[in-house]
Amino acid sequence: MRLSRYYAPTLKETPAEAEVISHQLLLRAGMIRKLTAGIYTYLPLGLRALNNVANIVREEMDRAGALEILMPAVQPADLWKESGRWDFYGRELLRFVDRHDRESCLGPTHEEVVTDLVRHEIRSYRQLPVNLYQIQTKFRDEIRPRFGLMRGREFVMKDAYSFDKDDAGADASYWAMYEAYARIFTRLGLKFRAVSADSGAIGGSFSHEFMVLADTGEDTIVACPDCDYGANLEKAEAVCPSAGAIPACPPAEQIATPGSHTVEEVAAFLKVAPAAVVKTLLYIADGKPVAALVRGDRELNEIKLKNLLAAKEDLRLATPEEVVAATGAPVGFAGPVGLTLPIYADRELALASDWIVGANAADAHMLHVDLGRDATIVSFTDLREVAPGDPCPKCGATLTFTKGIEVGHVFKLGLKYSEALNATFLDEAGKEQFMIMGCYGIGVSRIVASCIEQNNDASGIVFPPPIAPFEVALINLSPKDEIATAKADEIYAALTKAGIQVLLDDRDERPGVKFKDADLIGFPIQLTLGGKGLARGIVETKDRRISLKGELPLDGFFEAFM
């Protein structure tokens, strides 16, 4: 590729709208351009980086035995109603009505579509297990799209779905994906950690997030410096309009304990408690359970709630009517006027075993204030298990806080979708059984941003070779000089023939401009030819990461370089 005929519009200034370094550098290096909030065009360099990531993901998924398919982005509402998620999913789901007045959505994830496919195709245990994946554009109408490719409304995801005939098989599928993810992020050259996404006691080992460690990460994780233990403390960025930003960790004395609490005490606690600390609270008001708060993933919440309730025989489920009566809130909303919390949708109440489920402390604070009454905290599970400063539960070392970017998520779903959509097979005894599912996501476009968060310096991006849009920038300092140009073309042809991705800077620009651009875009290796070096019969080399400069002879360059 020749830069004179390429499109890599670099920018000198940092665009004002870009807060984090990856967003700034992706714009400045001419890799992406914004169309509208959270929606970007990939320019040639950006697309190459994206494809490099996608290809490594694809190779490792194939190696793990998953089969690539491509599902539609457009999904009918009917399927989502069947699974119960049409109402449950809230406003992040991008919905529309077609010309025949049929309700549809643009897929934020594909559990429904893939389960629908499989239920029509798979009849017998002999056809299981199967793991289907795709690399595809997803749509999520994020409330706060930001940080460029990090949190888009339209983004590229790899999503895989496994179907198994029994629990042991489902666990094996899960761990095979876990291993594949570890290989993927290692190959991509990222500093990452797999953390238990549900650090609570229930179901803890069946959801892991893969976190790229970076200060700009939106997730707070505890990590053990000595072993591989890590857990997600969920997002510390939750903001409650009345309580303000919720800090990452409350001081120990502010951590509430099970027992009776006044409305003020609970509200004060919830103000300072990060979502992670408020793991599982069951509220009892006037002797009746009125609300439950479980941190984290909604789908996981349901499972956890079921388990929790099963463990506490003296509790019974409140009906939606009771909950509405208790909160006084119209179904569909709770909290101060103008604040729409999707968590209180009536459908969701029903799904969540007729309990109100809040996803974070801010929700609970609002709910509680809304209730305006004292509450009993019945259960407050393993509060201290993941607090920084404790003994690592695995090796005893002192845990530390770090920030992470969620780039992958593996999840054992169990029967959730197969039951809802009736995806069954006949087992060895000819008996009909539900398939056991897992789902596994990777944020392909988010990885490009995360990689830049971890790999940059004052001059620009320092791409790890596997992600770099080109491995080598070949800079011809004297494009008007026939000899220099002939030599540059020769080297370009030889390297390209050897399968090396080279971008030849043959532009009629000042050397300073060329070096700055090469540094900014972050090619791992720069080769410079022309000027005094040419007269001396050498090619200058530079390793971008360590800024190490060297020389190689022009004569026999190819052999010396390889």
530 is a contact residue toward ligand ATP (CB under 6 A):
no
The piece of 119-127, 147-155, 223-231, 284-292 that touches ligand ATP (CB under 6 A) is: 147-155
Report the alpha-carbon distance of residue 24 to residue 13 in Å, rounded: 9
142 is a contact residue toward ligand ATP (CB under 6 A):
yes
Beta bridge partners of 538: 553
295 is a contact residue toward ligand ATP (CB under 6 A):
no
First to last CA, the chain: 20
Nearer to Mg ion (CB atom), residue 409 or residue 412? 409
Nearer to Mg ion (CB atom), residue 151 or residue 271? 151
Contacts of 447 (CB under 8 A, 6+ apart): 53, 188, 190, 212, 407, 467
Burial class (CB in 10 A: 0-12, 13-18, 19+), 159: buried
Nearer to ligand ATP (CB atom), residue 148 or residue 469? 148
Q: How far is the CB of 401 from Mg ion (least distance, A)?
A: 18
The residue with its CB nearest to ligand ATP is 443
Q: How far is the CB of 152 from ligand ATP (least distance, A)?
A: 4
Nearer to ligand ATP (CB atom), residue 136 or residue 478? 136
The piece of 25-33, 79-87, 400-408, 545-553 that touches Mg ion (CB under 5 A) is: 400-408
Q: Residue 417 in contact with residue 112, Cβ under 8 Å? A: yes
The piece of 186-194, 381-389, 405-413, 477-485 that touches ligand ATP (CB under 6 A) is: 405-413
208 is a contact residue toward Mg ion (CB under 5 A):
no
Beta bridge partners of 366: none
Name the strand (E) or helix (H) holding 445. Answer: helix 444-454
Nearer to ligand ATP (CB atom), residue 467 or residue 475? 467
30 is a contact residue toward ligand ATP (CB under 6 A):
no
Answer for which of 57, 61, 64, 157 binds ligand ATP (CB under 6 A) is 157
Answer for which of 296, 358, 404, 408 binds ligand ATP (CB under 6 A) is 408
Q: Which two tokens stand for residue 366?
A: 């609002």
Taking the CB of residue 284, how many other CB atoms lie within 10 A of it?
17
Q: How far is the CB of 155 from ligand ATP (least distance, A)?
A: 4
* Total of chain residues touching ligand ATP, rule CB under 6 A: 15
C-alpha distances in angstroms, 183 versus 158, 179, 193, 403, 539? 15, 6, 12, 22, 36
The piece of 266-274, 315-323, 442-450, 499-507 that touches ligand ATP (CB under 6 A) is: 442-450
Contacts of 449 (CB under 8 A, 6+ apart): 20, 22, 23, 26, 147, 148, 149, 150, 405
3-class DSSP assignment, residue 398: strand
Residue 443 contacts which entry, ligand ATP, Mg ion, none (Cβ below 5-8 A, type-dependent): ligand ATP
Residue 444 contacts which entry, Mg ion, ligand ATP, none (Cβ below 5-8 A, type-dependent): none
295 is a contact residue toward Mg ion (CB under 5 A):
no
Nearer to ligand ATP (CB atom), residue 449 or residue 504? 449
* Total of chain residues touching Mg ion, rule CB under 5 A: 2
Nearer to ligand ATP (CB atom), residue 142 or residue 509? 142
Q: How far is the CB of 448 from ligand ATP (least distance, A)?
A: 10
- Among positions 339-358, residues that touch ligand ATP (CB under 6 A) are none
Express the helix, strand and coil content of the chain in percent, nearest 5 each: 35, 30, 40
Q: How far is the CB of 157 from ligand ATP (least distance, A)?
A: 5
Q: How far is the CB of 228 from ligand ATP (least distance, A)?
A: 19
412 is a contact residue toward Mg ion (CB under 5 A):
no
Nearest to 554 by CA among 525, 542, 540: 540
Q: How far is the CB of 479 from ligand ATP (least distance, A)?
A: 39
Burial 176-206 (b: 16+ CB within 10 A, else e): bbbebbbebbebbbbebbbbbbbbbebbbeb
- Among positions 122-141, residues that touch ligand ATP (CB under 6 A) are 140
Nearer to ligand ATP (CB atom), residue 94 or residue 317? 94
- Among positions 301-330, residues that touch ligand ATP (CB under 6 A) are none
Residue spans of alpha helices (H) in 273-414: 298-311, 320-327, 346-351, 361-371
Report the alpha-carbon distance of residue 296 to residue 360 in Å, rounded: 7
409 is a contact residue toward Mg ion (CB under 5 A):
yes
Q: Residue 447 in contact with residue 144, Cβ under 8 Å? A: no
Report the alpha-carbon distance of residue 187 to residue 83 in Å, rounded: 36
- Total number of residues shown for the chain: 562
Q: Which two tokens stand for residue 228?
A: 């591989």
Q: Residue 305 in contact with residue 370, Cβ under 8 Å? A: no
Nearer to ligand ATP (CB atom), residue 245 or residue 397? 245
The contact set with Mg ion (CB under 5 A) reads: 406, 409
The contact set with ligand ATP (CB under 6 A) reads: 109, 140, 142, 151-152, 155, 157, 406-409, 441, 443, 445-446
